[in-house]
Amino acid sequence: MDSQNELTGKVAIVTGGGDGIGRGIVRVLAGRGADVVIADVNEKAAGEVIAEVQSMGRQGLVVGTDVADQNECDGMVSSALSLFGRVDILICNAGVAGGPEWWTRETASELDWDAVFAVNVRGTMHSIEAVEGYMMDRGEGKIVVIASIAARGGGAGPMAHYRASKGAELNVAQAFAMRLAPYNINVNTICPGLLWTNMWDQIARKHMSDSGDEDQSPRERFENGLGAVPLGREQTPEDIGVVAAFLCSDRARNITGQAINVDGGMRMN
């Protein structure tokens, strides 16, 4: 089948699909024929992306969801099933880099550690737990977790809480890949590199205010990091979307438990 239409008839849930990487993933999945449910705390932003999905001739639904809450994740899946009668794909993309205090010194506060783990780690687990029973009964399903090259280790600075959460997220994905393989459910991870999104804007502002180095704009600060990219360019949400679409297609039916870096070569393991 033509890869451009390979998701026709499929229904995808994308957590955090209202902005940034999630929005790029929604655009690519809808462009390949999928109907899309966006589960996001920001319902307004999600509604704007769903309007785009509809303008592409696909159907869409917004479900206001905080993935840190298991009941809300259960509601996300039951709303999708009520409207569409099926869920083929779950993309666990919702994530945060800081909590109520962000990081202020060499390390983040306990509040920030808890907030980041609640969304990035438990949110991923809750989202998969909400859909796995349905997919197991059906004997098929595709799940993609958006972690980060931060999951691959290394790196200095005060973001240990974020790195640790992303490493944990990758391990959660692999645990579910093993658990769900007998049910013909593929679970894979994408590790994005450097993408200019709201998250990166917040990170750049935080680093700059902490260091007192506010001569540059947040975008310039982000561009400094691109020197570490062997291919010499930033990645885009659509770059992540096309890999997610591939992993959700039949062409990837024998790939599970893997993590793919989409980072211009920054990490080669």
Ligand X SMILES: NC(=O)c1ccc[n+]([C@@H]2O[C@H](COP(=O)([O-])OP(=O)(O)OC[C@H]3O[C@@H](n4cnc5c(N)ncnc54)[C@H](O)[C@@H]3O)[C@@H](O)[C@H]2O)c1
Q: Give the interface with ligand X as residue ranges (CB under 6 A).
A: 15-16, 18-22, 40-42, 45, 65-68, 93-96, 119, 123, 146, 148, 192, 194-195, 197-200
Of 162, 176, 200, 222, catalytic: 162
Minimum CB separation of residue 66 from ligand X in Å reads 5
Computed over its alpha carbons, how large is the radius of gyration of the chain? 18
DSSP string, 12-33: EEEETTTSHHHHHHHHHHHHTT
- 162 noted as active-site residue: yes
Minimum CB separation of residue 73 from ligand X in Å reads 9
Minimum CB separation of residue 125 from ligand X in Å reads 13
Please say which residue, 93 or 174, places its beta carbon nearer to ligand X: 93
Please say which residue, 148 or 174, places its beta carbon nearer to ligand X: 148
Please say which residue, 79 or 197, places its beta carbon nearer to ligand X: 197
Rounded to the nearest 5°, which phi and psi values hold at 144? -125, 130
Please say which residue, 96 or 125, places its beta carbon nearer to ligand X: 96
Number of other CB atoms surrounding residue 97 within 10 Å: 24
E strand segments, the chain: 11-15, 35-40, 60-64, 89-92, 141-146, 185-192, 259-262
Minimum CB separation of residue 247 from ligand X in Å reads 15
Buried b (16+ CB within 10 A) or exposed e, 141-157: bbbbbbbbbbbbeeeee
Question: Any idea which residues carry the catalytic annotation?
Answer: 162
